[in-house]
Structure 1
């Protein structure tokens, strides 16, 4: 595990505050944590899908991606909340049926599609896993709005292309890296089921951060270290400073 986490700890400019871990491990906060985690998994899949649809594929393929996401979005936004039916639907529930056609005007389109489709599939699966754990514990799903962390990171994204895409990919890398770091720190303080589950997520989250960063570097075709350092400083400030809300990516709880 330490070998897996070492690059992430080097990438992030700060560690999760001990005060956040102390609050997160309290039994009365577990419901909030699981609901927000479930939301985060869906948002991660949606973000990756947006990047593929906007930048990499033709119109027909973009529509195909929306069909893939439809059961998840119906569950969340249309509130079709029959969990048993949702979790036990067709065996191909988490597969993108057919191939996507990349646009010809984006050189890195196929690489972005390959990396993001795998990420989407894994995040949808993680969403279902968290949802199943919640269901077994009598916790109902709730929609959650983006918190200070996500908004603070996205404020730094440039508004012109390809800089906007590069920045969005860097933001994705930090979100995935922070998730991985928090899973590792929190797992020892949770019950056996959640401990095993969070540890099982580490490898995929670590790869997601690497995929995002590799894509950003390839698309920039230049050194992105200065831009990564800017986002690292922003991310560390959001994580280290006091936060009135408690979420999976929130900052230090107000004393």
Structure 2
């Protein structure tokens, strides 16, 4: 992940329609513990979502074989974050969640098989954004221990959004996939637009994307 001086614009990654703004990086670095606690909640929710999909599509061929290891890995990440929190005298405190996840969940269509497709793509977009922001913290956090933690989690986070893409790609024509991904990627960006009302409300997925969306192709 690169930051280009002097504008400090952040490079995006393939799935995302717009990159995170530098203001989010500054906000996150100013409130590292809030972001770390929220990150623990995110890992817990990601494990829960993967498990939920396995139960929803219990007999879907090839689903449990890939989502079960993913859920376990998310829980391993959860435990790593809890360990660091405990070392710093904190724990999994309740935090008000950003509306990011809830907003994207509303974009998932209700009827099948569209519901399955949208569930895969929304989960992939969330994983992609998490990977992007953790990469930024791994590079730019002033806290060396946090840099090390986020860097340690990056490879598996990148693999996770690939898992959801592969699940979708093996079940739908590429033209259908790309069309729907483009639509949902726009919605993902919209969910992060705006400004943070209170500094203490910074989260892993709180508002903070560049206003001018990048033209990165999704194909």
TM range (shorter): 0.7 to 0.9
Whether 1:202 aligns to 2:154 is yes
Pairs within 5 Å for 1:91-240: 103=59, 106=60, 109=61, 111-144=62-95, 146-190=97-141, 191-223=143-175, 224-240=177-193
User: How high is the TM-score relative to the length of structure 1?
Assistant: 0.72
Which structure has more relative contact order (CA 8 Å, sep 6+)? It is 2
- Cα displacement string for residues 128-153 of structure 1 (whole angstroms, at most 9, x for unaligned residues): 00000000001121234542111111
Q: Which residue of 2 aligns with 1:242?
A: 195
Q: 2:14 maps to what in 1? A: 10
Aligned length: 196
Q: Deviations over 1:207-247 (max 9, x none)?
A: 10011011122223453101000111011122233243421
Higher helix share: 1
Superposed CA RMSD: 2.0
Structure 1 residue ranges, 4+ long, deviating more than 4 angstroms after superposition: none
**Counterpart for residue 53 of structure 1:** 55
Q: Distance in 2 between matches of 1:117 and 1:8?
A: 29
SS in 2 for 1:13: coil
Q: TM-score, normalised on structure 2?
A: 0.83
List gaps (5 residues or longer) in structure 1. 57-102
Give per-residue Cα distances to partners, 1:41-68, cap 9 Å, x unaligned. Answer: 0000000000001102xxxxxxxxxxxx
Change over 3 Å in CA distance of 1:144–1:50 after alignment to 2: farther
* Other-structure match for 1:251: 207
C-alpha separation in 1, matches of 2:148 and 2:203: 21
Alpha carbons 1:14, 1:240 under 8 Å: kept: no
